[in-house]
A = this chain, B = another copy of it.
Amino acid sequence: MKQEKVAPAEGKLGIMVVGCGAVSTTFMTGVLMTRKGLAKPIGSMTQYDKIRVGRGSEKKYLHYKDIVPLANLNDIVFGTWDVYPQNAYQAAVYAEVLKAKDIEPVRDELEAIKPLKAAFDKNYAKRIDGDNVKDCKTRWDMVVELKKDIQDFKKANKCDRVVVIWAASTEIYVPYDEQVHKTLSQLENAMKADDREHIAPSMCYAYAALTESCPFIMGAPNTTVDIPAMWELAEKTKMPISGKDFKTGQTLVKSGFAPIIKTRSLGLSGWFSTNILGNRDGLVLDEPANFHTKEVSKLSTLETICKAEDQPDLYGNIYHKVRINYYPPRNDDKEGWDNIDIFGWMGYPMQIKINFLCRDSILAAPLLLDLTLLSDLAARAGRYGIQRFLSFFLKSPMHDFTKGEEAVNNLFQQYTMLKNAIREMGGYEADEEID
């Protein structure tokens, strides 16, 4: 066991959020309110979780910040890009996620957070219709302007470090293309050639962030950093990347519930998941091309937990279906309904139904806090490239599929990976194995 050398978390940490909608403003408001002692950052691992370090008689349970040097909430500065020009206060009020009493005390600070013009292409999100948009001729122009945004923000706010996190809409599905997405030079060429079919705007954000020495996190199901070209860039810039898709409602439950079935050697014949949601996320997903991106992201969860090849009697014939439905009456109050068909002793069938009345932004907000703080930590620890230990927070965790790596979707295995990384960065021994 070697002690990792982690640079201290000194100075200001800029968090630049792509998208200034319900999720982003709930995140920002909560951090600002917490700083004033007016709210509690429930759901945040970096603020609440305690993990065991040491073994046997040496063991103790510590908060993350007592194991590794984490940025303090007081050192955070927020920036954002959005296609709508409303400031974070206006956006928070519009989102109708938080009550007035939970926003008003930090109104001034929120009003000061004004969205930079977004790098946007309407073909990637047809239902979105804002005009606070950069006027760029090519994808490469987008990159150039975004890099300048980051530099300006950093300077203006005297930030020592910046993290960029995507909390904007789901783009249409961009399948992996070996001619464009494999190497960094291919990617750069395509950007310069303005290949709009293969280069999503989100890729320009990621490229700009990494080349400006900012960790990048993909919170939507976009495949932005799920390509070898980006991994190459992360290696080159020595920056951490992670994604994709914040693990909130239904998939969170699925990644925790499937292990219950698996752990008891019960059989599984079907899992039907349906979802109703009414916020802008739902509106975008109502467009089939955007839904497809989401569906690909959500479907993988189950099969990697209950594996047919390991237990053919139990998991050899699972019918898994995921439906997402735009349903405006609910706004941000997402609701999932799962029907799970299991079977037990002698093959007798049983059913489980889970109805989750959740709130999208309330579940997502602490993930933004944890992902940015831990990405910043990883950067300071010299850990770059794909951050598998952040799988815990993500619906469809990154993994190097070119090397045959598999995603880890089991919530409890992901938690072990998270704990092990914290332990190691803190100079403690990890539990090497996750099962």
Name the residue among A52, A266, A346 with the largest chain B CB count within 10 angstroms: A346
Cβ 8 A contact of A344, one of B344, B359, B415: B359
Docked complex Cα distance between A105 and B247 (Å): 42
A346-B33, A352-B357, A356-B352 known; A263-B42 Cβ under 8 A: no
B325–A272 contact, CB under 8 A? Answer: yes
**Among A4-12, A71-79, A250-258, the stretch in contact with B:** A250-258
Docked complex Cα distance between A42 and B342 (Å): 11
A346-B40, A346-B102, A354-B354 known; A319-B310 Cβ under 8 A: no
Docked complex Cα distance between A356 and B29 (Å): 33
**Does A313 interact with chain B (Cβ within 8 Å)?**
yes
B433–A55 contact, CB under 8 A? Answer: yes
Q: Hey, which chain B residues are within 8 Å of A358, CB to CB?
A: 350, 352
A319–B329 contact, CB under 8 A? Answer: yes
A304 to chain B, nearest CB (A): 15
A411 to chain B, nearest CB (A): 6
Known: A33-B346, A40-B313, A274-B325. 7 other contacts (CB 8 A): A40-B347, A42-B343, A52-B435, A59-B433, A345-B361, A348-B359, A350-B362
* 9 pairs from A and B in contact (CB 8 Å cutoff): A42-B266, A42-B313, A98-B348, A253-B260, A323-B323, A344-B366, A345-B362, A352-B355, A431-B433
A: residues with CB less than 8 A from B are 26, 29-30, 33, 39-45, 47-52, 55-56, 59, 61, 98, 102, 252-253, 256-257, 259-260, 263-267, 269-270, 272, 274, 276, 310-311, 313-314, 319, 321, 323, 325, 327-330, 335, 337, 339, 341, 343-348, 350-359, 361-363, 365-366, 411-412, 415, 431-433, 435
